[in-house]
Amino acid sequence: MKSIQTPLHGAPDNGRDQPSTPIVHAAASPGSWALGASSVILLVLNTIFWCGLLSPFALLKLVLPKKVTFRLIDPILNRIAAAWIGSNNLWFERIQRQPWDIGGVDGLVYAEWYLVNCNHQSWVDIFLLQRALGGRIPLLKFFLKQQLIYVPLIGLAWWALDFPFMKRHKKTQLRKNPELRRQDQETARRACEKFSAVPTSVMVFAEGTRFTQAKRDAQGSPYRHLLKPKAGGLAVTLNTMGTRFRSILDVTIVYPDGAPSFWDFACGRTGRVVLRVRQLPIPENFCTADYGTDSVFRKQFHRWLAKQWEEKDEQIALVLDGAGGSGVMPHQESSAP
């Protein structure tokens, strides 16, 4: 089975306004439907098993002193979560028909802190990130909508694992009540203070939502394959624990056959996948400047993030332009599930 050729340098840029690629996943068949149903059932059973194992320790975390839970309970919770992810990976890797072209993951250190920033196209992104980075860096912790804490079993698991829950406010609400923005920033700050105690990977989707052509057009994004990035969450995370981070992992995910749905993934019809990781140094002043009050720093941070997003957009374009080739990109690791 051939891998995807994805040159980062020297590939032609034809200048087309091509914000997305058509989805060309194979048509559903009775066999793929059966595989998809089996995958969903296995995922549910696996989640029930590991969350059931985790729940008693989560309840202990509710009643025991913080120092005790940090020293005794949290390591157990993280190992259970890693086992849950690993079990999912074993099945999903087995059913994917195309190799996953993963590059840039060498040299990562498990016992370090990382800030992971990635573009967002599909719920499949989470499974792909867990597969590519699992065991190489600490367990990914990402910000969740407040409502998700009420999801049976898994909501308790997310809470026990210190996933921060954020309230999403509409722009009209924020304009009427700026205090809401400060509340969100304080929630992020408290979460990051927890993360600073033990090596953690803080996961951020700077776009804030999954990319679609309609969303891109609605916000007038200057990028062909990305939505405008939101700087606040990144800036607060860096300001709170930036000196802890070894680096920023700038992750770019591309689906040359079109962004798959979770059902495509469950049926083994994800198509080709390209994932690239860049380690970026963190400017020193990003760890000390106050994004909320320093307007000069805000402008600097926006320029820095816009530059990263321009490079990411160009990288996606190069991958899509070269996706018809064969072989593996030079100096990159190809990883088949």
- Listed in order, strand segments (DSSP E) in 7-51 are none
Whether 58 shows a pLDDT value over 70: the answer reads: yes
Residue 12 vs residue 96, higher pLDDT: 96
Q: Is residue 72 assigned to a domain? A: no
**How far is Cα of residue 184 from the mean position of the Cα atoms in its chain?**
20
Q: How far apart are CA 54 and CA 49, in angstroms?
A: 9
Could you give the percent of the chain with pLDDT greater than 70?
A: 82
The per-residue pLDDT for 1 is 35
Rounded to the nearest integer, the mean pLDDT of the chain is 83
**What sign has the CA pseudo-torsion 325, 328, 333, 337?**
positive
The per-residue pLDDT for 30 is 64
Whether 265 shows a pLDDT value over 90: the answer reads: yes
Q: Please, which residues have CB within 8 angstroms of residue 132's CB and are 6 or more apart in sequence?
A: 100, 102, 105, 251, 275, 277, 335
Give me the amino acid identity at 87: S
The per-residue pLDDT for 40 is 96
Looking at the structure of the chain, the number of domains it has is 1
Q: How confident is the model at residue 288 (pLDDT cuts 50, 70, 90)?
A: confident
Average pLDDT for 40-57: 96
Q: How far apart are CA 224 and CA 265, in angstroms?
A: 25
Give me the amino acid identity at 271: G
Q: What is the CATH number of the domain that holds 237?
A: 3.40.1130
> Among 119-123, 170-174, 225-229, 259-263, which is the least confidently predicted range?
170-174
Q: Is residue 106 assigned to a domain? A: yes
Q: How confident is the model at residue 26 (pLDDT cuts 50, 70, 90)?
A: low
Helix (H, G, I), strand (E, B) or coil at 274: strand
Q: Is residue 66 assigned to a domain? A: no
Whether 50 shows a pLDDT value over 70: the answer reads: yes
Residue 196 vs residue 102, higher pLDDT: 102
Q: Is residue 25 assigned to a domain? A: no
Q: Phi and psi of 213, rounded to 5°?
A: -60, -40
Could you give the percent of the chain with pLDDT greater than 90?
A: 58
Average pLDDT for 179-186: 67
Q: By 3-state DSSP, what share of the chain in percent is helix, strand and coil, each rounded to 5? A: 50, 10, 40
Q: Which helix (H) or strand (E) holds 196?
A: none
Whether 206 shows a pLDDT value over 80: the answer reads: yes
Structural domain boundaries, residue 263: 98-322
Whether 254 shows a pLDDT value over 90: the answer reads: yes
Q: 29: how many CB neighbours lie within 10 A of its CB?
A: 11
Q: Is residue 210 assigned to a domain? A: yes
Q: How confident is the model at residue 168 (pLDDT cuts 50, 70, 90)?
A: low
Q: How far apart are CA 153 and CA 151, in angstroms?
A: 6
Per the CB < 8 A criterion, the answer to whether 146 and 166 are in contact is yes
Beta pairing partners, 201? 114, 140
Q: How confident is the model at residue 9 (pLDDT cuts 50, 70, 90)?
A: very low
Whether 117 shows a pLDDT value over 60: the answer reads: yes
Q: How confident is the model at residue 180 (pLDDT cuts 50, 70, 90)?
A: low
Q: Is residue 290 assigned to a domain? A: yes
Q: Is residue 200 assigned to a domain? A: yes
Q: Phi and psi of 260, rounded to 5°?
A: -80, 155
Q: Is residue 18 assigned to a domain? A: no
The per-residue pLDDT for 23 is 47
> Among 249-258, 271-280, 298-307, 326-335, which is the least confidently predicted range?
326-335
Per the CB < 8 A criterion, the answer to whether 246 and 138 are in contact is no
Beta pairing partners, 134? 137
The per-residue pLDDT for 7 is 34
